[in-house]
Amino acid sequence: MVCKTLLTHMSRPEQVDRLLDVAIPLAREHGSHLIGLHVTPQTHIYVALAGEMSAAVYSAQSEYDREQADRIKRRFEKRTKNEDLVCEWRHVSANGYPVADAINANAAAADLVITSQSTEGGDWETRADLPIRIIMQSGRPVLIVPNEGTFERIGRYVTVAWDGGREAARAAFDALPILQRAETVKVLSLDQDSMRERTSFTPGDAITLSLARDGVAAEAVHASSGNASVGEVLLAHAAESGSDLLVMGCYGHARFKEFVFGGATKHVLDHTSIPVLMSH
């Protein structure tokens, strides 16, 4: 994979700087075309609000949405105007469809999607499970930027979560352009003690050698989760090793209109303090 098209999705004005703090350096490093995307959600008018009240509420909400979009666009253009990058602004309307559908329609043509961690604020349709729906439905790797903290540069010190599964493989190789530029890459495998007793060659060792052939100076690290959850161990290891990026597979499946996830995926998405690159 290459990183020539970066799509940065921004729901709210207060997200713009934190997202661009990550997106702009990545675009510089990889010579990427940087797209800023804002999706205006559908305006919801309830049956109880009838007649003139309904029209007034709709008008006020529409004006608010336009102001939000303008603020985000102005901030995006201010941050990117002096950059030696090809930058593009996109503002689309959900047009009665879920916001995630509009994002994913644009994300499908990107090498990497950058978006914010879930939030309790903002429109009900653009918080909660929005990052999850992008990861699960876009078919592209997604870089989740936490709502707190500053991230002037990511990808120098990387932890790759590895269990030998499909999702982990997808994430590791989706992250290859970043891993090839990293100073250190730790490939973390959990609870493989029984396998190491039978053979000196584990899945963690195999992916480390494969990454080395792709120019990644990776080190296999093995640990036991003990009484902690996998998500807790991943985040603890990333913190202890000074990682500025966690790469991992997103585990889950669709059940009717909801998504059901493995505990590690949900825990990391809810509690991470560093950017996380996830693939499904």
Mean pLDDT of the region 268-276: 94
Position 41 scores a pLDDT of 87
Q: Is the pLDDT of residue 175 over 50?
A: yes
Domain extent, residue 200, equals: 157-279
Same domain as 10, residue 139: yes
Position 49 scores a pLDDT of 52
- pLDDT per position as a tens digit, 184-225: 999 999 876 555 555 566 778 899 999 999 999 999 998 887
- Structure-block tokens of residue 232: 């807790």
102 versus 120: the higher-pLDDT residue is 102
* CATH number for the domain harbouring residue 196: 3.40.50.620
Banded model confidence at residue 53, pLDDT cuts 50, 70, 90: low
25-29, 128-132, 169-173, 257-261: which range is least confident on average? Answer: 257-261
The CA distances from residue 9 to 62, 102, 264, in Å, are 20, 11, 24
Q: Is the pLDDT of residue 1 over 90?
A: no
- Residue ending a domain, choose from 124, 145, 166: 145
Is 262 part of a structural domain of the chain? yes
Same domain as 182, residue 133: no
- Tally of domains in the chain: 2
Position 240 scores a pLDDT of 94
- Residue ending a domain, choose from 94, 125, 145: 145
- Structure-block tokens of residue 230: 């996998």
Same domain as 213, residue 127: no
Same domain as 192, residue 117: no
* Percent of the chain scoring above 70 in pLDDT: 84
Same domain as 179, residue 92: no
Same domain as 170, residue 86: no
Q: Could you count the other beta carbons within 10 Å of the beta carbon of residue 270?
A: 10
Same domain as 188, residue 106: no
- pLDDT per position as a tens digit, 68-104: 999 999 999 999 999 999 999 999 998 878 899 999 9
- pLDDT per position as a tens digit, 243-264: 999 999 987 655 434 444 457 8
Q: Is the pLDDT of residue 142 over 70?
A: yes
Largest distance between two CA atoms of the chain: 74
Phi, psi for residue 167 in degrees, rounded to 5: -65, -40
Same domain as 197, residue 72: no
